[in-house]
A and B are shown apart, each in its own frame.
Chain A
Amino acid sequence: MNIGEILTNLWHSSGYYLFGEAQGWKSIIMIIVAFFFLFLGIKKKFEPLLLVGIAFGMLLTNLPAGVSDALFHPDYWTGEAAVANGVDYVYVLQHGGLLDILYIGVKTGVYPCLIFMGVGAMTDFGPMLSRPSSLILGAAAQMGIYLVFILAACMGMPGGQAASVSIIAGADGPTAIFLTKTLAPEILAPIAVAAYSYMALIPLLQPPFMKLLTTKKERMAVMQATRKVSKKEKIIFPILVTTIVCLLLPSVAPLLGSLMFGNLLKECGVTERLSDTAQNALMNIVTLFLGISVGATAVAANFLTLDTLKIVVLGLAGFILATVSGLLIGKLLYVVSKGKINPLIGSAGVSAVPMAARVSNTVGLKYNQGNYLLMHAMGPNVAGVIGSAVAAGFLLAVFG
């Protein structure tokens, strides 16, 4: 028995040795990035429910090949065979690692839809129903998506990638994942990371533009209480939206249908147990699976590319353009309504619920103590969720 040989073999099979192989440095960078995201999620509390999962998935998948092979195989999903013939799910189930199996829910679009069901069960559409003009602001903020789409096309991105990058501007993680897994699965990880990171940074990103584009008088505008919405209206609304919008854009049916089904469970008053499950247990389980499996796709070879840098830059531009579009239409409504609509609620048209509405409220309170804009901003905020789903449905219909 040669102890030296045994120790040498042990060393050669260890992850530390494998870091020294070609491209090993890329894995080290990705692991450092994963540590940084863990720091942001845990210490800075930036979207921790998702960012911690994404970061940990990123850490696991970037351990050297011998270690990460037991967990995730990128070639099963974006390899040449998978691209040419489609994913072989039976093979994945037989030979895949834990994260491969969890990733099936992302690839098939099940997780984003279930998340939307939970979001629907948690959302009160009352503020939007009491002020229908909120929908205009929800639509306005989606202009950011299409402006980035033009920019991405000008930068030479293929149509599917341009559409996937542009949807980051919708500030809607599940929608971004749902669209990207269909149109550009090879860039799913950077898009998911960019979308959730920018959503977490909304309190930092939006206020400078809100101040830049509005006057002090506009920011101080007080909005009056709106009409009380009856229970019947709240029950009819999800049924109507599903019927009307899904007939027009069938490609959006999985997302919008799930969102409205969740909302109907909440509002109909006879399915409290199901609503509770959608809001809590189901939402938590799916968030857990979604975070770690999306993070796993951030393999160094796919992530550390120039395309990722483009996605990060375009995503940031998209968030800013969406905020600016919402604010400008908000200013227009301020003029049309003779000062009855505070333009600050326009920035809440990006669909990060309820973060964007909270930002509008915080900025409004800063200039006029006692001027609570939160409920008024929730209208455009939830309208933005519908708007970004419609925008995604259009892009899927064109490129799907």
Chain B
Amino acid sequence: MNDLILSSVLDKNAALNPLDALLLAVIGIVVVFVVLIVLMLIIWLMGKIFDGSEKLKEKHPELNNKLQNAKAKIMFWKKSQPAKQVAPETQETANGTCGELKLINVEERDAAMIMAIVADNMGAPLNELRFISIKKVEDEK
């Protein structure tokens, strides 16, 4: 018994007397139960928090609607970015730019690259720049 009281690390090669073994077993099972009960409480609490947020959404549908609308807008914006349609001869406004940008014979992807290069060279954020139009210059024949 003194071994247990004096040292937390016992000699693994020494025989244990049954009383020490009993004491160790009781401490061991208490440790297992305490750890798993703490985990149980955390899981229970986590479940309550997540269920609570779901119920809040159900109780205040307007909040949920606003969230969904915001998500939908973001999705729409993201989808509109990599559009690959060739701009027609006529002047057209591109999506996702600050103000109105007219693309003349230029693909949106190329226009995005040009804007990014210009912004980088100027050292200014893209959303602070305003592009009026981007026009493809015909090659000289």
Question: A residues engaging B (CB < 8 A)?
Answer: 128-130, 132-133, 135-136, 138-139, 142-143, 145-147, 149-150, 152-154, 156-163, 183-184, 227, 229-230, 232-233, 236-237, 240-241, 244-245, 248-249, 383, 386-387, 390-391, 394-395, 397-400
Chain B residue with Cβ nearest A384 = B36
Question: B residues engaging A (CB < 8 A)?
Answer: 8-18, 20-22, 24-29, 31-33, 35-44, 46-47, 50-51
Chain B residue with Cβ nearest A133 = B40
Q: Is the CB of A159 within 8 A of B32?
A: no
* 6 residue pairs bridging A and B, Cβ less than 8 Å apart: A129-B43, A154-B21, A183-B12, A240-B46, A241-B39, A394-B31
Give every chain B residue within 8 A of A394 (Cβ-Cβ). Answer: 27-28, 31-32
Q: Is the CB of B36 within 8 A of A162?
A: no
Q: Is the CB of B47 within 8 A of A233?
A: yes
Give every chain A residue within 8 A of B41 (Cβ-Cβ). Answer: 132
Q: Specify which of B13, B16, B22 lies most central, judged by the most chain A CB atoms within 10 Å of its CB.
A: B16
Give every chain B residue within 8 A of A244 (Cβ-Cβ). Answer: 38-39, 42
Partner among A162, A184, A386 whose Cβ is within 8 Å of the Cβ of B16: A162
Bound complex: CA A244 to CA B21 (Å): 27
**How far apart are A345's CB and chain B's nearest CB, in angstroms?**
15
**How far apart are A133's CB and chain B's nearest CB, in angstroms?**
7
Task: Give the A-B pair count, Cβ closer than 8 A.
Answer: 126
Partner among A158, A183, A237 whose Cβ is within 8 Å of the Cβ of B43: A237
Bound complex: CA A149 to CA B28 (Å): 10
Q: Is the CB of A150 within 8 A of B25?
A: yes
10 tightest A-B CB contacts, nearest first: A160-B12, A153-B21, A146-B25, A139-B36, A153-B16, A399-B12, A135-B40, A135-B36, A132-B43, A132-B40
Q: A129-B47, A133-B40 are in contact. Are A158 and B28 (CB under 8 A)?
A: no
Q: Given A153-B15, A398-B8, list of 13 further CB < 8 A pairs?
A: A132-B47, A135-B40, A139-B33, A139-B37, A150-B21, A153-B20, A183-B12, A227-B51, A236-B46, A237-B46, A386-B36, A398-B9, A400-B12
Give every chain A residue within 8 A of B8 (Cβ-Cβ). Answer: 397-398
Give every chain B residue within 8 A of A152 (Cβ-Cβ). Answer: 21
